[in-house]
């Protein structure tokens, strides 16, 4: 039998802050991209920034900073590999698979074994979206890097503000 956990004030504030951060990341990225790219990229950018926000939104500020740094580094590895590939070659499933393998080796060599998944997911998204828009495929790594940076900044920033306000006005946990 599933037993439901009782929600605390901190849980509700956390959920509300995550909601605000996610919406903010989506809207910011959507409107940053709107003047420069087509509508599907606006939506994708908003979604990708939202995913980055959710990824870095952790229980503590320190955990959020750590998750943000890891997300950024994994995205940078993927960004570099995909950009180089897409400057030279068009999308091919075999090329994407090769990039996933190379990215895995790079992440392991850098000592970031736990972040292989993040780099791999980023590579897969960038490459598949590049296949959907082959004329400007090389832009996809740049756009996804921008989306990720916005999402990380918004996630960490809103987490910090929400934590500050919660502890200032509601009190420390257990009160």
Instruction: Locate 160 and state its tokens.
Output: 């910090």
pLDDT score at 149: 96
pLDDT score at 3: 82
Name the DSSP letter for residue 60.
S
Integer angstrom CA distances of residue 108 from 32, 51, 98: 34, 23, 15
How far apart CA 90 and CA 99 sit, in angstroms, is 13
Instruction: Locate 14 and state its tokens.
Output: 């956390």
Q: What is the pTM of this model?
A: 0.88
Mean pLDDT by 10 residues, the chain (175 residues): 86 94 94 76 88 94 94 96 97 98 98 96 95 90 93 96 83 53
Instruction: Locate 96 and state its tokens.
Output: 């994407």
How far apart CA 15 and CA 17 sit, in angstroms, is 5
Q: Contact 97/123 with Cβ under 8 angstroms?
A: no
pLDDT score at 174: 47
Measured in Å, how far apart are the chain's first and last C-alpha atoms?
30
Integer angstrom CA distances of residue 165 from 5, 16, 61, 169: 24, 13, 13, 6
Residues 6+ apart with CB under 8 A from 62: none
């Amino acid at each position: 039998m599933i037993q439901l956990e009782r929600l605390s004030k901190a849980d509700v504030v956390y959920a509300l802050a995550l909601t605000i951060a996610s919406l903010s990341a989506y809207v910011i990225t959507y409107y940053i991209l709107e003047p420069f790219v087509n509508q599907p990229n606006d939506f994708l950018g908003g979604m990708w920034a939202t995913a980055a926000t959710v990824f870095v939104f952790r229980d503590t500020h320190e955990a959020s900073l750590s998750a943000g740094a890891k997300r950024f580094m994994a995205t940078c590895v993927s960004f570099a590999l995909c950009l180089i590939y897409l400057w030279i070659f068009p999308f091919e499933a075999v090329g994407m698979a090769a990039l996933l393998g190379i990215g895995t080796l790079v992440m392991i060599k850098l000592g970031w074994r736990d972040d292989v998944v993040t780099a791999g997911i980023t590579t897969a998204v960038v490459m598949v979206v590049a296949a959907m828009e082959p004329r400007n495929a090389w832009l996809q790594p740049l756009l996804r890097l921008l989306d990720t940076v916005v999402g990380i900044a918004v996630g960490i920033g809103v987490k910090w503000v929400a934590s500050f306000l919660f502890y200032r006005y509601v009190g420390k946990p257990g009160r």
